[in-house]
Structures are given as C-alpha cells and as structure tokens.
Amino acid sequence: MSIDHNPPAADDASLQNTTAEQMIIPSINLRKKRHLGESLIQGFLFVCGAFSILTTLGIVYELGKEALLFFRSPAVSLVEFITGTQWQPHVDEFGILPLVNATLMTTFFAMLIALPLGVCVAIYMSEYATPKARSRLKPILEVLAGIPTVVYGYFALTFMTPLLRGIFGSETVEIYNVASGGLVMGILILPLISSMTDDALSAVPHSLREAAYGLGATKLEVAVKIVVPAAISGIAAAVIVGISRAIGETMIAAIAIGAGPNFTFNPFRGAETMTGHIVRISSGDLSYDSMDYNSIFAIGLMLFLITLVLNIISQRIVRRFREVYE
Amino acid sequence: MNPTQPDNSTVHPLEIPPGSNLGRRHRLGKLWRVIFLASTLVGIVSLITLLLNILNDSLGYVAYEVDVDPATLSTSSLPLEQLSKDELMAILRQNISTNAYNTLETQKPFAQRSQSEVYDLIYERVIEPEVAKTWTLFDSLFYRSQIFAEVASDYPQATVSFVFWINPDFLTHPQSSDPILAGIRTAILGSVWTIAITILVALPLGIGAAIYLEEYARDNRLNRIIQTNIINLAGVPSIIYGILGLAIFVRLLEPLTSGAIFGVGDPLTAKGRTILSAGLTLALLILPLIIINGQEAIRSVPNSLRQASYGLGATKWQTIWHHVLPNAIPGILTGAILAISRAIGETAPLVVIGASTYITFDPDGPFSKFTTLPIQIYQWVSRPQSEFRNIAAAAIIALMVLLLTLNAAAIYLRNRFTRRYS
C-alpha cells in the first residue's frame, strides 16, 4: 500500500545541476521541463485511479436512492422492516428478519466448518508441513478457492442434501435446507480462512518459536500456545472476512437453501437468505419502480453496509497486528 | 527439536520430577498433529468429492422413448443419417404439418439448410426422443443388470444407451428445452462476448489505476482515500455489483447499452439487458482485483531500474513505459487472468441484471440478449428433473476446463517470469 514515492525527478534535477556546474555547460536549461504529453498521461492515469471512487459513489447513491423510495412507501415502516418476522411483498409485509435470520444461520453453519478446519489447515501448512508438502498442498486449496460458486451450489444440492437426508432421514430434512447450503459454503470459505491465517502465522517471527523450543515446549505447544496467540489478530481478521464472504455469498443460497422467506430456526427447513431473495426477485421480469424492484435495493443496502463494516473492522485489525512485528 | 526429551521419558519413572507429564504432552502433540493433517485432508477430500460428483452425473445410462422409430422413417436401407438432404426433406414434409413446415421455411429457407441441419430437425420434430430416466455413472457401472431390468418392466418402449453428456454435439448445439438436444453453444458464445467486453474495459482501467497509485500518487489524503476505497470495493459482495449494474447500465444508460443511440440492436427485446451491460458490470466487479494485483507487480520492480532510466535522462512516462511496465507485465497479467477467471464463473450479478435464461440464437454483438455458461448451469440445476442435472454437470465440466486452462496459464506465467530479481 505504499503510495509514497519520493519523486525522483526533483533529486535528479539537483544532481544534474551540480554536475553541470562542474562541467561548465551553461547553455543547457536543466530545470524540470513540463511535457504536455506527460501531463496528459498523468491526468488519464489519475482518472483511472479515481474511477473506483465513482463506483463506490454509484453504489451508495443508487442503493440509497432506491432504498429511500422503498422506505417512503406507505406500506413500509422502518420499524416494521427491522423487527417484522414476515416478508411477503404481495400482502405488503416487509419484515426483513426472516431473510436476516436465514443469512445468519447459513453463516453460522459455514463458519462451523470453515473456522476450525481453516485454522487447523493453516497451522499444519505453516508449522508442520515440509516445504515440499506445502508446495503441493497450496495449489489444491487454490483450486478449491477458484471453483465458481454456482458449482458449489450444484454440489450442495446434489451431494450434501442427499447426504444429510440419508443421515437424518428425508422426513426431517427438506430438499432445500439451510444446513446443506451452509456446510458447503464452509468448504467454499475454508481456503480463504486458511490462506489468510497461514499468512498471519508465517508472519510471526522465528525467534518466538525458538525461544519456546529452548524452554522445552513441544511442537504442539509452540504452535498453539505461542504462534497462534501471537497471530490471533490476523486470525480474527481472517474470520471476519470469512463471515463477510458468507453473508454476501449468493449462488449456493439461491440454489440449495430455498425460495421461501420462512422465519425458522430449524436448519433442515428451507429458508431464504438476503442474497437468495435478491436473485429470486430479479430473475423474473422485474418492472422498474415496483415495490419488488425497490426492495432489492433496500436489502442490497443492508448487505452492503454489513459487509463494508465487517471488512473495515478486519482491515483495522490487520493494520494493528502488522505494526507489532514490523 | 529437543533431543533430551525422549531420553527423559525412557528413564525410570521415579527419576522424572514429580508433576512432569512429558509422556502426555507428547501424546497430545501426536494427536493434534494427526488432527491438523486430517483437516488438510478434509479439504482435499472435499475437492475430490466435488469433482467425482460432477463426473458421476455427467455420464451414465439413459432410457429414452421415441415418438417414431427412426428405422421406420428411412425409405431406403440406409440409416437416416446417411440419407441425402432431399430424401430427409421429404421425410420431414410427410411427418409434420404443412404449417409447421412453412414456419420452418420462413425461419430459414430450406435451400440454405445443410443435410445435418435437416437431420437435426427430423430428430427434434419427428423422432422426438424423450428421456424416461437417467442413471449416474456409479449406478451404471455397478447396478447394470438392475437398470436393464427396471427399464424392461417400467419403460418397455424405451431404448437404453450409455451417454456421455458432454460431447461435441452438446458443445455446438444451441439451447433447447429437451435435455437430449440441449447444448451450450449460446452460453459459450455469450460468455466469450461478455468477457471480451470485460477485458477491454477492466484491463486498461485497472492497469492505469495501478500505475497511477504506484508511480504517480503522492501520499496525500485523496490518494489514501482512493487506495482504501479500492481495497473496500474488493470486499463488496458480487451481487451488489449486479444491483449497481441493474440501476446504472440496464436502466439509466439503457439507450447506450441497448444500442438505441447507435441505431443498432433491438431495443424492444433487450431493454438494456444486453451483453454490453453484463460486460461493464463484470468489469466493475474485477477492477479492484486487477488494480491490487497490478500494484503488487509494479511494486516488485526494483527501484534501481527506475533510477538508471532517470539517470539517462528519460522522462517519468518513458521510464514507466520502457522499463517498469515490461518488467511488471507478467505479474500484472497473472493477476488479470485470475480476475478474469473469477468473472467467467460469476453468476449472481448477471442474474440480477437480467441475463436471458432461454435464448436459442447466437448472440451477435454487444447489444444482443445473452446467456452465459454459469447462468445456464444455474438454470439447469434449478430444474427438478434429473436429466437437467446431467447436462448441468456436463456444462460444469466445460466451465471448469475453461477455468483450469486459464489458471494453468496464470501459474505458468508466474513461474516463468517472477524469479527474475530474486
């Protein structure tokens, strides 16, 4: 993130000045020249850089504008939106809790898989694996991270759901259910958490490990009592990014979790996450300025804010933990 | 690590100081070592299961019933495929109504259709194969006799054949509501068009922004905001970009994205839900990734190169263009390829901006309606019938082969070029 570069041009100019004086060549003007072309290029590159600001402004403006239209509508009140347990647009019931609840339950199941497994994988890769094993295992995890989410959705529906139904009985587990989508989402997030945790563990200085070994600690004690606590902020950041990813994950939810906003705490029943709802509503022929159209912006705004806050928290944590060892 | 410890544990128990639990500590260490390794294996096993699951669905036995037996259609002893175009047209004319025949004639005159196209028409309209049941590869291999017994009792009219769902016909046929005839040609073309636009927009913008932030930007407030903003954009869920694309490209810029202001495209059908909108939306989505990867690549170019160039009197842009970029380009491209493969697999934003789910014609430009491979997969997975699951698996294989090829290219670039300065 280093955007501070000492502009070398200025240094060069002063350097050249001294040499020029020594060589006595007075006719050459050695002041820094302004080239029109150079300035144009710099201007163009600045526009490229600033373009991302436009994207953010676009997101905030459009989500805010349409969400405002949504909340202005007489059918919606903000209190009902936040506390209502029914989401049924056709009868003007707009309580977002069923959607939020499904999102949180899915995230819970995803983290149930991804957090312990991800941290264990990272500890293995960083503390136990030989460099050779590491160089073989890492690409496999990268492949896992590169598989499109629609494929994970297919996997949840055609593998995880039948598996769960086989274990718990098909009368308890519905075809579309939260648990199946959540567990597969855990597999999706596993590489993210393990690679971020791996980075955090690898950043812990070797002197700490050696000191612990010197005091007679076993390998496990060094890993769990020294390295993991020293990297705990990095691990926390990884977990938060994982949660944010799970909340924003769409295709698994749309394919495997269901298509009805049920307010239920039973993980084997179908429900609908915020993202899944947006996809279902917008895959039909959506007419502009309808309540459905505006409502996806209101849900999108909530999604955007939640993930943004989580990402910012995680960056703060990472920045603080970097300062400790650098 | 500690060579004295094993000795300690073998000494007479009484010699160990009271309270020492070395044996337990070592046993615990071994146990957890196994647990850590097992966790890693779980990751690998999940990947293998996922791939096997796809393979399992993508080939196997199929029982299908036909309306008309092709053997009875053929007028000569030759099989239907080998008949001439005129003979095939005669068969077609006999077996479908005049109206239907005329409709086909107006869609595309028969004079312009090839023999194989006419054969396809007969297959689709006259023979009309219909899937009765499909089996997975696993069942096909291990329960072969049961399958044939079941077909004989439940579907006496059906023919059973072993089908590779992913085959040349599947890749080259357009979409169809019949899984036997369906193909992913339209989806592949849609993906290619969309990604082409994404690359055209995102690559120059992304590389430009990376150069600006690494080479030009002073450490002031504005530039810090830009940098933080890019990092935050990289974490925004993809569906939010879909909503943004719907509001900006599909709705606000409809005259542009439907091609109306250029006088091309069919504004009535597409209504801004075009390849152009999709490409631009995906470009916004992968822009932060390209910028962040590009910055890393540019940062890894040693400063001595820049200083040598300045020392010879080069301007800033000359230095960047002739020295920094050529050395950073492998890294930039590696990052870009990874970002592009993310865009290829992206489904949610395109569903939100309204990619067409059922089109049978090839997209013919940026202002055309479209569907893409992941959307096609999503559509097929969402259907309850198992035969659609089979073609979804086949389409997934096509998508994964495409992505793996791209990733292999990225890894090759990375290994080939990154060790130059170390």
CB contact under 8 A, B42 and A275: no
Gap between the Cα atoms of B168 and B191, Å rounded: 18
Residue pLDDT, tens place only, B67-99? 777 767 766 667 777 777 777 777 777 777 777
pLDDT tens digits for A30-55? 666 677 888 899 999 999 988 889 99
Amino acid, res. A92? D
- For residues A257 and A102, the answer to whether their CB atoms sit within 8 Å is yes
A219 vs B29, B218, B243: nearest CB: B29
**For residues A103 and A248, what is the distance between their CA atoms, to the nearest angstrom?**
9
Residue of A nearest to B212 (CA): A45
Q: Which residues contact B248 (CB under 8 A, 6 or more apart)?
A: A58, A62
* Stretch B207-224: mean pLDDT: 91
Please tell me the predicted confidence (pLDDT) of residue B106.
Answer: 74
- Domain(s) of CATH 1.10.3720.10: residues in chain A: 87-325
Q: Tell me the two tokens of residue B151.
A: 């077909």
Instruction: Point out the least confidently predicted range of A187-201, A224-238, B80-94, B208-222.
Output: B80-94
Mean pLDDT confidence for B177-196: 88
What is residue B163's predicted lDDT score, i.e. its pLDDT? Answer: 84
Examine the pLDDT at B216 and tell me if it is beyond 50. yes
pLDDT at A252 over 80: yes
Residues of B in Cβ contact (< 8 Å) with A311: 232, 235
B302 close contact with A: CB closer than 8 A: no
Q: What contacts B235, CB < 8 A, 6 or more positions away?
A: A241, A244, A307, A308, A311
Q: Where are the domains of chain B?
A: 4-57, 60-169, 185-420
- Give the pLDDT band of residue B230 (cuts 50, 70, 90): very high
Q: What pLDDT, on the 0 to 100 scale, is given for residue B194?
A: 93
pLDDT at A29 over 60: yes
- Residue B35 neighbours by CB under 8 Å, 6+ apart: A120
Measured in degrees and rounded to the nearest 5, phi and psi for residue B367 equal -100, 20
Mean pLDDT, rounded, for A229-240: 91
Average pLDDT score over chain B: 83
Does the pLDDT of residue B304 top 90, yes or no? yes
- For residue A263, give both structure tokens: 């307010």
Token pair for A74 = 């007489």
Task: Quote the percentage of chain B above a pLDDT of 70.
Answer: 90
Can you give the length of chain B in residues?
422
Instruction: Answer with the residue of higher pLDDT: B267 or B324.
Output: B324
User: Is residue A132 predicted with pLDDT exceeding 60?
Assistant: yes
The pLDDT tens digits of the residues spanning B387-420 come to 888 899 999 999 999 998 888 888 787 777 655 5
Which chain B residues are within 8 Å of A279, Cβ to Cβ?
239, 348, 351-352
Compute the distance between CA of residue A235 and CA of residue A228 in angstroms, rounded to an integer: 8
Q: Mean pLDDT throughout B109-135?
A: 77
Give the residue among A197, A114, A62, A56 at the shortest CA–CA distance from B43.
A114
Q: What's the distance, CA A96 to chain centroid?
A: 22
With contacts defined as CB-CB under 8 Å, which chain A residues touch B213?
A: 3, 49
Q: Which of A52-61, A116-125, A167-176, B155-164 has the lowest mean pLDDT?
A: B155-164
Measure B98 CA to nearest chain A CA, in Å. Answer: 35
At a CB cut-off of 8 Å and minimum separation 6, what does B188 contact?
B171, B373, B398
Is residue B169 pLDDT above 90, yes or no?
Answer: no
pLDDT for the residue numbered A259: 79
Neighbours of B33 (CB within 10 A): 17
Residue B349: predicted pLDDT:
93
CA distance B282 to A104: 27
Please name the CATH architecture into which domain A87-325 falls: Orthogonal Bundle (1.10)
3-class secondary structure per residue, B285-322? HHHHHHHHHHHHHHHCCCHHHHHHHHHCCCCHHHHHHH
Average pLDDT over residues B308-312: 93
Tell whether the model's pLDDT for residue A160 goes beyond 80.
Answer: yes
Based on its alpha-carbon atoms, the radius of gyration of chain B, rounded to whole angstroms, reads 30
Contacts of A139 in chain B (CB under 8 A): 411
Q: What is the pLDDT of residue B16?
A: 56
pLDDT of A262: 84
Which H or E run includes B226? helix B221-234
pLDDT at B30: 93
Q: pTM score, two decimals? A: 0.85
Lowest mean pLDDT among A260-264, B86-90, B306-310: B86-90
Query: Could you tell me which residue, A15 or A217, shows the higher pLDDT?
Result: A217
Query: CA of B235: which chain A residue's CA is closest?
Result: A311
Task: Output the pLDDT for position B33.
Answer: 93
Tokens 């959307």 label which residue?
Answer: B375
Q: Is the CB of B239 less than 8 angstroms away from the CB of A250? A: yes
Do A123 and A110 form a contact (C-beta atoms < 8 A)? no
Strand pairing class (A93-94; A87-88) = antiparallel
Which among A194, A219, A279 has CB closest to B352? A279
Nearest-angstrom CA–CA distance, A95 and A84: 4
Question: What confidence score (pLDDT) does residue B422 get?
Answer: 42
Q: Which residues contact B160 (CB under 8 A, 6 or more apart)?
A: B61, B62, B63, B147, B148, B151
Cβ–Cβ gap B237/A304 under 8 Å:
yes
Distance CA B260, CA B253 (A): 10
ipTM: 0.85
Residue bearing the bigger pLDDT, A217 or A93: A217
Taking the C-alpha atoms of residue B230 and residue A56, their distance in angstroms, rounded to an integer, is: 9
Which residue among B39, B229, B236 places its CB closest to the CB of A117? B39
| CB pair distance less than 8 Å for B43 and A248 | no
> Do B305 and B327 form a contact (C-beta atoms < 8 A)?
yes
Whole-number pLDDT of residue A28:
65
Closest CA to B244 of A61, A194, A37: A61
Mean predicted lDDT score pLDDT of chain A: 85
Tell me the CA distances in angstroms from B166 to A74, A299, B172, one per residue in order.
53, 39, 11
Side chain identity at residue B223, one-letter code: N
Q: What is the pLDDT of residue B4?
A: 45
A301 falls in which pLDDT band (50, 70, 90)?
very high
Which two structure tokens, joined as six digits, stand for A239?
A: 């977990």
- Provide the 3-class DSSP secondary structure of residue B164: strand
Compute how many other C-beta atoms are within 10 angstroms of the C-beta atom of residue A291: 16
Instruction: Classify residue B389 as exposed, middle or buried by CB count within 10 Å of its CB (0-12, 13-18, 19+).
Output: buried
CATH of B185-420, one of 1.20.120.420, 1.10.3720.10, 1.20.1530.20, 3.40.50.800: 1.10.3720.10
Greater confidence (B268 vs B32) lies with B32
Q: What is the mean pLDDT of residues A284-309?
A: 86
Measured in angstroms, the CA of A60 and the nearest CA of chain B are apart by: 9
Beta-bridge partners for B65:
B130
- For CA atoms B215, B219, B221, B227, the dihedral sign is positive
Q: Which of A179, A311, A282 is nearest to B354 (CA)?
A: A282
Whether B225 and chain A come into contact, CB under 8 Å, resolves to yes
From the list B46, B223, B348, the residue facing A3 with the nearest CB is B223
pLDDT of residue B283: 95
Question: B19: pLDDT confidence band, cut at 50, 70 and 90?
Answer: low
- The tokens for B167 are 């085959």
**Per-residue model confidence (pLDDT) at position B289:** 94
Q: B147 CA to chain A: closest CA distance, Å?
A: 21
Q: What is the pLDDT of residue A8?
A: 47
CB atoms within 10 A of CB B2: 13
Which token pair is B21? 């639990």
pLDDT more than 90, % of chain A: 52
Residue A87, classed as helix, strand or coil, is: strand
Q: Count other C-beta atoms under 10 Å from residue B148's C-beta.
A: 13
The chain B residue lying nearest A221, using CA atoms, is B29
**Distance separating alpha carbons of residues B272 and B138, to the nearest angstrom:** 45
On whether the CB atoms of residues B273 and B356 are closer than 8 A, the answer is: yes
Amino acid identity for residue A227 in this structure: V
Does residue A214 surpass a pLDDT of 50? yes
Task: State how far the Cα of A185 lies from the Cα of A165, in Å rounded to an integer.
Answer: 18
B339 exposure class (CB count in 10 Å sphere: 0-12, 13-18, 19+): buried
- For the cut 80, the answer to whether the pLDDT of residue B104 exceeds it is no
Token readout for A1 is 């993130």
Length of chain A, please?
Answer: 326
Task: Report the residue from A45, A56, A155 with minimal CB separation from B211.
Answer: A45
Q: Provide mean pLDDT across the span B351-380.
A: 84
> What pLDDT shows up at residue A324?
58
- Bridge partners (DSSP) listed for residue B130: B65
Predicted pLDDT of residue B365: 79
Cβ-Cβ contacts under 8 Å, A187 against chain B:
43, 46, 50
Tokens of A83: 């506390």
The tokens for A103 are 């999102």
For residue A20, the one-letter residue type is A
